[in-house]
Structure 1
Amino acid sequence: MKTTLTVNDQSHEVEHDPRRTLLDTLRDDLGLPGTKKGCDHGQCGACTVLLNGERVNSCLCLTAMHDGDEITTIEGIGTPERLSALQKAFVEMDGYQCGYCTPGQIMSATAMLREVADGAPSYVSDDLGTPDLSDPEMAERMSGNLCRCSAYPLIREAIAMAAKADT
């Protein structure tokens, strides 16, 4: 089957098995290894990408379901020569240890900061106005992304640093 995807602002027509996951298409067919395969069950967040601007676990998405959709991977966020604010903050704050979960963390944080800016509440938000980006708020919003090295405090510090840079 053929599916057309726009990945990091480039159109790709992919021939694939209808059971193929978006994660496998991105990594194996399009050569974008930044999106990591962690649990392959949607529980760790290592495979997080933006799908039409919303964060999703690409291991749970079938490529066939996303014909015409826009996908952003970590490769589309920044380059080594031109890092995004979040990538810079992760480096500056040492918001990683082994680095395996870092692309998924950055993709999720990118969407999370947009959700906060749009006023979307979380389970721990105090009210339905503009959420405060407190440590508990960040922890709740990033809870779908696991870090086996337990770098969570540094990850949240990096997100807070990037959020301040954007304001």
Structure 2
Amino acid sequence: MTTQFRVDPPTAAGERELLQGFLDFHRGTLLWKVSGLTGEQLVQRAVDPSSMSLIGLVRHLTEVEKYWFHRALAQQPSEPKFWTAEHPDGDFDLADPGQADQDLEDYRQTVKTSDELAARYTLDDTFTRPNHEGDYSVRYLYIHMIEEYARHNGHADLLRETIDGTTGE
């Protein structure tokens, strides 16, 4: 498994570049963890009763990107693609091996749009989240997203190891 999907973040740079670099590193790590697998492998669950799978993580992080960057920060109206009232864990529970390639493409496009939206704001700009009190800074958003990816990339590492034994940082 190669790391062609990620670039190490800068070690000495401005705050925005460091935050973007770490977020991109974690996004690339997720793509690295799912690389080279079939749709069937991507929907494979590691531990019952959990419905967590690698493609489920991709779908989940697509929804998280859309919520934070598109809906909360840019105030764009959008409904979740995978989460519904009937299926609140639809990102995991309804993963389909035949849709894995499309799910990955949706993820990549969502990330691209997230970056375009974030570039319009300074780190000190604030926004309000739908149905939440208080203001959030763009700086907070970056830190939260890095934390979200770091946690889920730990899951992805374990899931990948159960599928084919591949490990890596």
* Alignment TM class, shorter chain as reference: under 0.3
Higher-strand-fraction structure: 1
TM-score w.r.t. the length of structure 2 is 0.27
Higher-helix-fraction structure: 2
